Amino acid sequence: MEGEAGGSVSCGSWIRRPENVNWVVLARVMTRPTSSSSSVIEIFSFDPNTTSLSSSPLARHELEESDGDPITIAVHPSGDCFVCSTTNGGCKLFELYGQETHLQLSTKELPPLLDAGPQKCLAFSVDGSRFAAGGVDGRLRILEWPTLRIIVDEVRAHKSFRDMDFSLDSEFLASTSTDGSARIWKTEDGVPLMTLARNSDEKIELCRFSKDGTKPFLFCTVQRVYDISTWNKIGHKRLLGKPASVMSVSLDGKYLALGSKDGDICVVEVKKMEISHWNKRLHLGTSIASLEFCPSQRVVLTTSSQRGGMVTKLNVPADWKEWQIYLLLLGLFLASAVVFYIFFEKSDSFWNFPIVREQTRRNIDSFLGDAQSDDPNVFGPLDM
C-alpha cells in the first residue's frame, strides 16, 4: 500500500491475533492545508494468499492536533493493545475491541509517559511483562506491564536514543545512542550492566538480540556480533554494504533483516550469516523507517515516508507446517510397522531355521491328537 496523497506513513507494525491471523497498524502523518487535518492510526487486515493488505482499514483513529505527529509504535505480544508515541503528546495506549468485521479502538493515557515528550524508541519484552521507552532527550524508562510500576527511570541514559531491544528472556535491554554508544541494562532492577566497547571511529547504531533460543547473541550494525555471556565481539561480516536505517529479527530467530537509507532490504539466515533475500530500491531511494517480520509468515512489513507501508514475501526456503510434521511421523510409524510384519513373517527363512517351525508344528499336532483321544486313561488313572 503506497502512501496516499495528503499523508505519509511514519511507522507501522504487525498485530498478532488468534488462529494465525495477522493485522497491520500504520501511523500516517497528514499534511495540514487546513487546521482541521489530523494524523491518523489505521489498522488493516493481511491476506497471506495474495501477500497484500486490505484496501480499506478495519479501524481508524484520528489523533488530536495537540498530540502532534506519530513517531513510533510498539505492539504488545498479546495483540490486544499497542502504544504510540507522538511529537507533542508523549505516549498513548490503544486497545482493540471486537472482531475484524466490527473492530474498535479506544485510547487511554499512560500516566508515567503522559508528558514525557517525544519518545524515539518503544519496545515490549518478549513475554509482555515489561515496556521500555527511550526519549529523544536520552531518558530511559522501563515499566512493569500492565501495572505501569516504574522499574527504571534513568534521566541521562544516552545523549539521545537511536534503537533498543529486549533479550529473549527479558532479562536484558540493549540500547544505542545517536553518539554511537551502546549500553546493556538489567531490566529487573535497572542497573546498567556495561557499555559496549567500540573503536573511536565506530558508531553503533542499531541492535537486536537473537531469538532462536540457543546461544544468545547481540547483533549490531557496526558489523560486530557480541557474545552476551562476556559482551565481547565474536565476529563480523559485511552484509548490506551501505548505511542501515533499521534492523529486525524474526520471532523464531532464523532470519535477520536490514533496511537501508536508500530503500533496500536484505534478509540474512542467522545460522549461516548468508544473505537469503535481497530487494534493491524497494522503497525507491527513500530511507526505510520501520521493518518487521510477520509473526507467522515469511513476509516483512516495511514503511517509508514516500512509499507508505509495503508487505513483501521473502524468497527463502519454506518452513515445515505442523500437519506436514505429523504426516511424516505417521508415515515413519506405518513404514516401521510394515517392516516389522515382513520381518516377523519371514524370520525363519531369513535365519535359515526351517526345522524349528516344523518341529513346533509336530509338537502341537501331537498334543492336539492326544487331547482328542477316546482312551479314558489317556491322562492316567483317576483318583475318585
- Whole-model pTM: value is 0.80
Q: Assign 3-class secondary structure to the chain.
A: CCCCCCEEEEEEEEEEECCCEEEEEEEEEECCCCCCCCCEEEEEEEECCCCEECCCCCEEEECCHHHCCEEEEEECCCCCEEEEEECCCCEEEEEEECCHHHCEEEEEECHHHCCCCCEEEEEECCCCCEEEEEECCCCEEEEECCCCCEEEEECCCCCCEEEEEECCCCCEEEEEECCCCEEEEECCCCCEEEECCCCCCCCCCCEEECCCCCCCEEEECCCEEEECCCCEEEECCCCCCCCEEEEEECCCCCEEEEEECCCCEEEEECCCCEEEEEECCCCCCCCCCEEEECCCCCEEEEEECCCEEEEEECCCCCCCCHHHHHHHHHHHHHHHHHHHHHHHHCHHHHHCCHHHHHHHHHHHHHHHHHHCCCCCCCCCCCCC
What is residue 370's predicted lDDT score, i.e. its pLDDT? Answer: 53
Cα separation of 187 and 24, whole Å? 28
Residue 127: beta bridge partners? none
CB neighbour burial string for 99-116, b if at least 16 within 10 angstroms, e if fewer: eeeebebeeeebebbeeb
3-class DSSP assignment, residue 96: strand
Bridge partners of residue 292, in order along the sequence: 301
- End-to-end Cα spacing for the chain: 101
Cell of 369: 491328537
pLDDT computed for residue 381 by the predictor: 46
Alpha-carbon torsion angle 256, 257, 260, 262, nearest 10: 160
User: Residue 122's pLDDT is what?
Assistant: 98
Residues 6+ apart with CB under 8 A from 166: 123, 124, 125, 126, 130, 132, 172, 173, 187, 209
Instruction: Check residue 379 and give its pLDDT.
Output: 45
pLDDT for 383 equals: 45
What does the pLDDT profile of the chain (384 residues) look like in tens digits? 544 434 689 999 999 998 889 999 999 987 655 545 689 999 999 999 999 999 999 999 999 888 899 999 999 999 999 999 999 878 999 999 988 888 999 999 999 998 899 999 999 999 999 999 999 999 999 999 999 999 999 999 999 999 999 999 999 999 999 999 999 999 998 889 999 988 887 899 999 999 988 878 899 998 556 777 777 777 777 888 888 999 999 999 999 999 999 999 999 999 888 999 999 989 988 999 999 999 999 999 999 988 899 999 998 876 655 556 677 777 888 888 787 777 777 666 555 555 555 555 555 555 455 555 555 554 444 444
* DSSP-derived secondary structure letter, 189: T
